[in-house]
Structure 1
Amino acid sequence: MISKVSTYISELESMKKYPDELFFKGNIELLNRKKISIIGSRKPNQYARQLTHEIAFKLAQVGVCIVSGGAIGTDIIAHKAAGVKNTIMVAGTGLDKCYPAINKNIIQEIEKDGLVLSQFKAGTPSQRYNFPLRNELIVALGEILIVMYADENSGTMRSVEYAKKMGKEIYVLPHRIGESNATNKLLKQEIAKAIYDVDKFVKKFGEIAEKKCDDFLEFCKTNPSYDEVLKKFPTRIFEAELSGEIKIVNAKIYILKFNGST
């Protein structure tokens, strides 16, 4: 069911114009949580994909709610890694539509157990001029902005301009020369700060719990087959591969990281 947001959201005071209307599906109480916005390319490299997952996952573990836009690539990785109960998606369409359709299943999960917001009435389709408005809202909601991967002159960089105008701190990953040129430029110009140590960064927002024995990784020590792991840990295997904990070679599972070691 689509509802209208009736409470005032102080974070949105930083926008050029406070939204005339806001609509939502899901748990409106997530707006009261500490929030961080994560954005980036629809086609991040593997390094950015892995770090997006790790950072969003660990921030959620210390109580942070992740805000993003539901797009393919960086956005959806961040939503999934945080877990639907710890994420806010800002839509660029009316909430009667699931856009992009390829992410329909996860968007519906966020609508049920997380929060989806939109400035657009039901029936509003995907239109180019909707997305700058959506992006401004994403940036405004977060305490800080993390840009995982971006090319120059991309939509992601227009969101950075919003963050600068709002006085938000901007964080990026350190990338190799020739990759994510826009974020490397932000570092060079001292507009953004680099995340060199994920755990140290996350500790700014809460204490990371000590690692407990991981049954999944213990099982993977035996180099089981992909099918065996999929049957026993159907959701964990994707997360572990994406975060670089395991690799799959010839349908066998091999551990890359275990309790911080490689």
Structure 2
Amino acid sequence: MTIRCLSQDSVEYPRRLLDLCDPPKKLFYIGNVGLLNQPMVAIVGARKASQTGLLHAHHFAAGLGRSGYHIVSGLAYGIDSAAHRSVLALRGPSQTIAVCGNGLDSVYPSAHRDLAKQIAKVGLLISEYPPGTGPKGFHFPRRNRIIAALSLGTVVIEAAQKSGSLITAYLSSHLGREVFVIPGPISSALYAGSHRLIQEGAKLICGVEDILNELPNERFH
């Protein structure tokens, strides 16, 4: 599939990214670039998610998709890929956007090559990194700022004390977006970061309606 490029002066460049102090100068993409300025919600969480966490990711991604929001995530193992797959299973009109931490001429993790192809066919793959750029550890926190800025809000499902999902949540809050957190057992290390977010003011949610009641009324039609 052809990799294309947007600059900041392109009509399709997402205006929400300009809320960042360091918005990407260029965005490389494969797929439906028209999704970039439509309403979307981020779903992020543990790579080594529990079965309960994966079920929550499917439930919330599908519910938000049916309610008029596209879903953005990071193509990682666990919660990210579960959210992407849930939206793909809806077969429209909601789509999913994957923000990558490497050039789009390769897929990371490589096990998600088929998933990336499915997303590119009906949704969108994007990256600020040009083709030929491999995945580096410091790319992923920067990738997370794009996920946070594109979204009207971020849903956190299973975040441990040092989860990368916390970066997305804090960036989302800093940008004035909503942060939603699903609580879990207080004895579970998988939820230590999630519970800290709630203590610091993130919204505790028990269902999709809790999110819909807080989001701006910007839905695709």
What TM-score does the superposition give when structure 2 sets the normalisation length?
Answer: 0.87
Please give the secondary structure, in 2, of the residue aligned with 1:183: helix
Shift of 1:178: 2.0
Q: CA offsets per residue over residues 133-171 of structure 1, 9 Å max, x none?
A: 111001100000111110112211122221222122100
Aligned to 1:22, the other structure's residue is in SS state strand
TM-superposed deviation, 1:49: 1.2
Partner of 1:188: 199
Conserved? CA contact 1:151–1:182, under 8 Å: yes
Q: 2: distance between equivalents of 1:166 and 1:200?
A: 21
SS of corresponding position for 2:108: coil
Q: How does 1:89-100 map to 2 (within 5 A)?
A: 89-100=98-109
The answer as to whether partners of 1:55 and 1:202 remain within 8 angstroms in 2 is: no
String of CA shifts for 1:99-138, please: whole Å, max 9, x gaps: 1111111111111211011000000001111111111001
On the 8 A contact 2:64/2:208 being kept in 1, the answer is: no
- 2 CA distance for matches of 1:126 and 1:141? 21
Aligned equivalent of 1:14, options 13, 19, 22: 19
**In structure 2, what is the Cα distance between the partners aligned to 1:108 and 1:64?**
21
**Aligned with 2:31 (options 13, 26, 44):** 26
State the alpha-carbon separation in 2 of the partners of residues 199 and 158 from structure 1: 25
Equivalent residues of 1:58, 1:202 under 8 A apart: no
Q: Is the 8 A contact 2:148 2:171 kept in 1?
A: yes
Q: C-alpha separation between the residues in 1 aligned to 2:214 and 2:198?
A: 20
Residues 32 and 122 of structure 2 are in contact (CA less than 8 Å); yes or no, is this contact kept in structure 1?
Answer: yes
**Quick one: distance in 2 between partners of 1:165 and 1:203?**
21
Cα distance between partner residues in 1 of 2:198 and 2:32: 36
State which drifts further: 8-17 or 135-144: 8-17
Tell me how far apart the structure 2 counterparts of residues 131 and 197 of structure 1 sit (CA, whole Å).
28
Quote the Cα distance in structure 1 between the aligned partners of 2:180 and 2:140. 22
Quote how far apart the aligned CAs of 1:204 are.
Answer: 5.7
Distance in 2 between residues matched to 1:60 and 1:197, nearest whole Å: 14
Structure with greater Cα Rg: 1
Name the structure, 1 or 2, with higher relative contact order (CA <8 Å, separation 6+). Answer: 2
Asked if 1:125 is matched to 2:134, the reply is: yes
Q: Is the 8 A contact 1:59 1:82 kept in 2?
A: no
Query: What is the letter of the counterpart of residue 90 of structure 1?
Result: V
Q: Percent identity?
A: 33
**Gaps (5+ residues) in structure 1?**
207-262
So what's the TM-score if we normalise by structure 1? 0.74
Equivalent runs, 1:58-137 vs 2, <5 Å: 58-83=63-88, 86-137=95-146
Query: Shift in Å at residue 203 of structure 1?
Result: 6.1
Counterparts of 1:65 and 1:154 in 2: how far apart (Å)? 24
**In the TM superposition, what are the counterparts of 1:1-262 in structure 2 within 5 Å?**
1-5=2-6, 6-7=10-11, 8-83=13-88, 86-179=95-188, 180-189=191-200, 191-202=201-212
Find the residue that maps to 1:125 and give its secondary structure.
coil
Q: Alignment length, in residue pairs?
A: 205
Secondary structure (helix, strand or coil) at the match of 1:154 reads coil
Question: How well do the aligned residues superpose, as a CA RMSD in angstroms?
Answer: 1.7
SS where residue 126 of structure 2 aligns? strand
Structure 2 unaligned segments of length 5 or more: list them: none
